[in-house]
Amino acid sequence: MLQDIKQFRQDYRVLIQTIIGFVVLAFLMIGVGGTIYRIIAPGGWLVQLFGAGFTAGTAALLSLLALAVLSWFGREWVSAYQKTRLADVLIYVFAGAGVVYLAQMVLVHTHL
């Protein structure tokens, strides 16, 4: 009987951790998708950054090139421990952005 209760508690904890993992994953996907949309959308962050003279396609290509160059050089400047911590921070930052984007869509009834 006692072993059944311990097994139930362990299974319950695994279930709760799995549900929390799926919720974080959903918010992460909404955050990444919403951020990408806000970057490359007409009138988005890239157009605001580079001005109206740049087309959205040109601005997107330049930003992807800059990201690729920074990623290439950054892999040697950052230790493995720092990469792990940075990845954890980015996951929760994008999950937080997903919460904000979802709240905007639900409360304000606007698209991203």
**65 within a domain of the structure (yes/no):** yes
pTM: 0.71
Please tell me the distance from the alpha carbon of residue 9 to that of residue 5, in angstroms, as a whole number: 6
CA atoms within 13 A on the CB side of 17: 6
Residue 72, domain extent? 28-108
**23 within a domain of the structure (yes/no):** no
**8 within a domain of the structure (yes/no):** no
What is the full DSSP assignment across 21-47? HHHHHHHHHHHHHHHHHHHHSTTSHHH
34 versus 3: the higher-pLDDT residue is 34
Nearest CA to 31 out of 104, 86, 101 is that of 101
**21 within a domain of the structure (yes/no):** no
- Is the confidence at residue 90, as pLDDT, over 70? yes
Q: Which alpha helices (H) appear in 1-112, and where do they start and end?
A: 2-40, 45-50, 56-77, 80-103
Per-residue pLDDT of 9-60, as tens digits, reads 888 999 999 999 999 999 999 999 999 888 877 777 777 777 766 665 676 6
Give me the number of domains the chain comprises: 1
Q: Is the Cβ–Cβ distance between 31 and 97 less than 8 Å? A: yes
**90 within a domain of the structure (yes/no):** yes
- In percent, the amount of the chain with pLDDT more than 70 equals 86
**9 within a domain of the structure (yes/no):** no
